[in-house]
Structure formats: structure tokens, C-alpha cells
Amino acid sequence: MSVQVSKPAPTFTATAVMPDNSFKDDFKLEDYRGKHVVLFFYPLDFTFVCPTEILEFNRKLAEFEKRGVQVIGCSTDSHFSHLAWKNQDIKIGGIGNVQYPLVSDFSKTISRDYGVLLEEDGVALRGSFLIDKEGVLQHAVVNNLPLGRNIDEMIRMVDALQFTEKHGEVCPAGWTEGEDAMKADQDGLKEYFGKHGEEY
């Protein structure tokens, strides 16, 4: 399957390590239908850039939760590896008790379906996917292995999506909560640039 923005996000059932450190063998993306979901892939447990991203998602988890968003992490490691990494102290390279599910894609099926699997290495690129309440993929960005992602940018994209869903307007470049959006027609464009044209 080839993932595509505006199309249904690939569904999956896998084993995940849950926030309470239990294993959930039948973890399903579909169980979160009705919520916005941020699904992110990272290359490997016990590596270097990955813990900074995982911990930043965890540090800002309340920002996602107050927007009704479920954060889910995923790599091609086993669930046993995920748990061992959670049980390792942050000061020595662990991730501690992060409070969102970490999915095991040991079969590499999920990474392949989302188009982020490096087949020759058996690991996933740093893919980030925003899925709406109906299970439709609305935003996707993929970074190469050395390039850590910006968690604040994903929060901004959540805000933009939810604004558009609520108000039916579109969000211009760099839009943040509280700024002007525009109606998706020529009159809306003229109105927006009438107010903000000198900024460009």
C-alpha cells in the first residue's frame, strides 16, 4: 500500500507497550477512530536522535491531549525492546516512562505501508502523520535519519486542521492559532491580502 495524503491512513493491528508498561497484543489504529491521531515512526530503540524526539512528544503530550489528539510512536523494534528502553533511565540514554503507546512493527509491515521503511536497513525513516477523526491522512512529513523533527510544528498542524474543520476556512503559510485565515475563494483571497498584503 502506498500512503497518500487525503486518502484513508493504512490501518494496522500490532503489539504495543502501553503507558502503564503493559503489552497490548491487539493494538489497533481503528480503535482511535473519532479522535485525531499523530502517528510517528522512528528508526531504532537505544539510539541517539530518537530519544530526543520521543521525550519531546512526551513533554508536550498535554498540548496534544487538550486538543483531543492521540500520540502513537512506532519503530521496527520488538515490544520487549521498547519496554527495556522505557525502563532505562533518561540520564543514561533511556526514555523513561513515556505516557503514550509505542507500537512494535517487528514485521515491518506498518512502516512499509506508510512508505517510510528503508528496506536495506530494516528501519523506518522519521515519518510523522496526522490522521483525522474519520481515519483520513491529512498531513505527512518524512525526515532522513540524521534530521530530528519539530514537535511544535506538528502541534501547529493539528491547530490548523482543527480550525479548518470547525470554520471551513483555509490556513495561509505559517498560520498559528488566533491569526487570520481566509475563505477558500477569490473574495477571501482579496480580503486576506487587503489586510496582510504588505507583510509579503
d(CA 45, CA 29): 21
b/e map 125-139, b = 16+ CB within 10 Å: bbbbbbbbeebebbb
pLDDT < 50 positions in the chain: none
Residue 139 has a pLDDT of 98
Q: Which residue, among 117, 130, 121, 200, has the nearest Cα to 164 in the 3D structure?
A: 130
Contact 43, 50 (CB under 8 A): yes
* Residue 82 parent element (H or E): helix 79-86
Question: Annotated catalytic sites, by residue?
Answer: 50
Cα–Cα distance for residue pair 15/23, rounded to 1 Å: 7
Domains, in order of start, for the chain: 13-149 (3.40.30.10)
Measure the CA–CA gap between 36 and 56, rounded to whole angstroms: 19
Report how far Cα 1 is from the mean position of its chain's Cα atoms.
19
Sign of the CA dihedral running 129, 133, 165, 185: positive
Going through 29-173 in order, the beta strands assigned E by DSSP cover: 36-41, 69-75, 102-104, 117-118, 123-124, 126-131, 137-143
pTM of whole model > 0.85? yes
Q: How many CA atoms lie within 13 A of 169 on its CB side?
A: 18
Looking at residue 30, the DSSP 8-state letter turns out to be G
DSSP symbol at 89: -
Instruction: Evaluate whether 14 touches 103 at the Cβ level (below 8 Å).
Output: yes
Q: Which three cell numbers stand for residue 90?
A: 533518561
